[in-house]
Amino acid sequence: MSASRYAYLGPEGTFTEAALRSMPEAATRELVPMVSVPVALDAVRSGAAAAALVPIENSVEGGVTATLDELATGEPLMIYREVLLSISFALLVRPGTALTDIKTVTGHPVAQPQVRNWLAANLPDAVWESAASNADGARLVQEGRYDAAFAGEFAASRYGLEPLVTDIHDAQNAMTRFVLAGRPARPAARTGADKTSVVIWLGDDHPGALLELLQEFSARGVNMMRIESRPTGEGIGRYCFSVDCEGHITDRRVGSALMGLKRICPRVRFLGSYPRAGVTAEDMAPLRHGTSDEAFTEAAEWLARCQDGRA
């Protein structure tokens, strides 16, 4: 395995590269662009890279399905950290292009919902076609295949383009969340401000099946931060659920919830426990009464005394 290589969704000039370069350890790694999320993650599985940074969630468009599906299938991987990046687009064009010259535009499919209103107001007749990434869209503009691309302003110089319009976003404070995935190993020690990710498959479709899953978290005071259903490919109506929750697998409430899920679900894939980006233990709200590690320990000791006749 190449411990010095980090893969990422390329080509050069993507928001993913910008997010990766925000990590201190990136300065000591060889950063390798990949053509897609599956290819980036497969580089980790094959040992060609130690880890890969890929987008997983956008505050406007929601989950990045390519990443959710890839983490749920194939050889298991684990998430070791997350990175949040503010997203603002620039309209990149070849030098000399005016707004009235633009008939075709391109960008990543996740970008389109974030600039749809601006596009309708300023380029209502322009035809949108999706690219593999925003930076790839910039490359296609450089090659003359499209008139303009929505990408990060930082990508302009890499592809010999000019930012005709900057700071484009339909939603204020838009963010994209990225995750660094590697091969499975022991999770990092808990920080007190952690997140745990899992993929859960329901055993069968019956009334209350999803409620039973949710109750495993609720009964133990575990806050679910995200839940998304994804088709399993096994037929219409067959889904798995991608879940993020607060806490670390070594927290008694989280570990107990995961054990409960394992008892009632045929498959549970643990994707990792890792520090939350931009949050510290001091920022966390107090735990609900009865859900601390101490409360679980006291309950276990009480049960043992009952079993020994010492209650």
Q: Tell me: the pLDDT tens digits for 114-143?
A: 999 999 999 999 999 999 889 999 999 999
Q: Which of 145, 163, 188 is nearest to 274 (CA)?
A: 188
State the pLDDT at residue 122: 97
> What's the first-to-final CA gap in the chain, in angstroms?
55
Q: Tell me: the pLDDT tens digits for 154-180?
A: 999 999 999 999 999 888 888 999 999
Number of other CB atoms surrounding residue 157 within 10 Å: 11
Asked if 169 and 54 touch (Cβ cutoff 8 Å), the reply is: no
Q: Is the pLDDT of residue 76 over 70?
A: yes
Q: Which tokens hold the place of 265?
A: 């679900």
Q: What percent of the chain has pLDDT over 90?
A: 85
Q: Is the pLDDT of residue 269 over 60?
A: yes
Q: What's the pLDDT band for 2 if we cut at 50, 70, 90?
A: low
Q: Is the pLDDT of residue 232 over 90?
A: no
Q: What percent of the chain has pLDDT over 70?
A: 99
What Å distances lie between residue 122 and 20, 61, 91, 118, CA to CA? 32, 21, 11, 6
The phi-psi region of residue 136 (left if phi > 0; otherwise alpha if psi is between -120 and 50; otherwise beta) is alpha
3-state helix, strand, coil in the chain (%, to 5): 30, 30, 40
Q: Is the pLDDT of residue 1 over 80?
A: no
